[in-house]
A = this chain, B = another copy of it.
Amino acid sequence: MLFDKNQIHTLNDQALPDHRESFEYLSHRLSQRSIQVNELIKKIREFQVAIPSWALGTGGTRFGRFPGGGEPRSLEEKITDVGILHALNAGSGAISLHIPWDIPDNVEKIREHAAANGLLFDAVNSNTFQDQPDQELSYKFGSLCHTDARVRQQAVNHNLEVIQYGKMLGSKSLTVWLADGSSFPGQMNFRKALQRTLDSLKEIYEGMPADWKLFVEYKPYEPYFYHTVIQDWGTSHLLASQLGERAYTLVDLGHHLPNTNIEQVVATLMMQGKLGGFHFNDSKFGDDDLTVGAMKPYQLFLIFNELVEGMEDPRSANPSPAWMIDASHNLKDPMEDLLQSVEAIQLAYAQALIVDRAALENARDSNDPVLAQEILQEAFRTDLRPLIAEARLQSGAALHPIRVFRQLEVRKTLVGERGTKSLATGL
């Protein structure tokens, strides 16, 4: 670790009086509303969001990339960085690997390093949207959907290999983001491509250990610009239903057409017991790269409102979804960006937890949209930041993660160790 946990505690101590004041006031007000503050804090502390290994480096666009310094040069250093984040916020206790970028040289050492940082290995991710230097056949025209059976087999084998790496490290799920698609009308036979994709996914599904889950992501476009084989939740759900019980849909916030009611999609999937995973980010236009909560925090809250409703429904058959941040850090320091992201997620989760559900259902039953809005906004408008800070404090993390990150000069230390020109493997 680049810093001693005591350094965090010392900095916390300086901020403590101010925190105490605001937390006590908030506790008092929440208690007045019959909210169990301790229960709330417990849930927030248990909520962990995975950090993808490729998020630790500076991202870019097709027009270029403006790298910062001190980026991790290896899987080990990526784990170190997530460990730092987790030490600061106690909310990012898992890392999600991407193969082939993160093939471990020494599995045992990697597992130990992760354990020392308090990290689990979340879903593993395959990559059939790029050609690797030594790759036999190209994915230029698709992978699992390719017209050529050999390309499909190569892509299936890659996924099976990813599962093997995941098994070694203790992952329990595979996320397939299938970029496959076409850029021009006529280029691909929609139905044949979907059928081939289903057949390929079946092979992968069969190759998973019995306690693994398969997450099928969807996206309307990019990197192909006319058609994506798995364009929407409906298509993903169709595939997941035909694959089997342990296949689920994965929702990435940024992978929707303009104005999509994502919270409704979430509710429908949970109702079917088919929401497997969630990727967080935010966007204003046709991208999926910005810090979650930076653009549409109310929408994030509304989505969490559905997630909480689904998770707390005793009759729900939906397993607890896998949570991961999936953004691209082009301008902000990636680690600061991730700290902001986790905080925004925790905040939305906490806001959803304090929604007065009984009153809301009453308002709904009496068709009173005015009151329903008041109830939701009461939860959203309440300033819950002291609660999140308290949860961190109780977990031994920083009251103000970004402030501490800057006070401890973490980035400067990393640049000192790794140089200004280090380059993270990944995008």
Residue of B nearest to A184 (CB): B369
What is the bound-complex CA distance between A283 and B224, given in angstroms? 11
Q: Give the chain B neighbours of A373 by CB distance below 8 A.
A: 184-187, 291, 294, 340
| Interchain CB contact (< 8 A) of A287 among B222, B238, B267 | B222
Mark the stretch among A1-9, A35-43, A360-368 that contacts chain B: A360-368
- Asked whether, in the complex, the Cβ of A259 is within 8 Å of the Cβ of B261, the reply is no
CB proximity to B under 8 Å, residues A285-317: 285-287, 289-291, 294-299, 302, 305-306, 309-310
Q: For the complex, what is the distance from the CA of A332 to the CA of B129, rounded to whole Å?
A: 17
**A382: Cβ under 8 A from any B Cβ:** yes
* Number of copies of this kind of chain in the complex: 4
Among B64, B297, B337, which residue has its beta carbon within 8 angstroms of that of A129? B64
User: A333 CA to B289 CA in the complex, in Å?
Assistant: 30
Query: Given the complex, which residues of B lie within 8 Å of A394, measured CB to CB?
Result: none
Near B by CB (< 8 A), chain A positions 371-405 give 372-377, 380-383, 385, 402
Q: Are A225 and B189 in contact (CB under 8 A)?
A: no
Contact with B along A344-361 (1 / 0, CB 8 A): 000100000000000011
Q: Does A15 contact B (CB under 8 A)?
A: no
**Cross-chain contact B220 with A285 (CB below 8 angstroms):** yes
Instruction: Indicate with 1 or 0, residue by residue over A265-276, a CB within 8 angstroms of chain B CB atoms.
Output: 001101110000
Query: How many residues of chain A are within 8 Å of chain B by beta carbon?
Result: 107
Contacts of A321 in B (CB 8 A): none
Please indicate the chain B residues that have their CB under 8 angstroms from the CB of A302 in the complex: 185
Those of A164-220 within 8 Å (CB) of chain B: 179, 182-192, 194-195, 220
Report A51-92 CB contacts with B as 1/0, cut-off 8 Å: 000000001111110100000000000000000000000000
B residues near A347, Cβ cutoff 8 Å = 381
| Complex CA–CA separation, A272 to B297 (angstroms) | 31
* Minimum C-beta distance from A351 to chain B (A): 10
CB-CB under 8 A from A62, the residues of chain B are: 59-62, 223, 328, 427
Given contacts A63-B129, A190-B264, A337-B370, 4 further A-B contacts (CB under 8 A): A63-B427, A187-B369, A257-B259, A286-B287
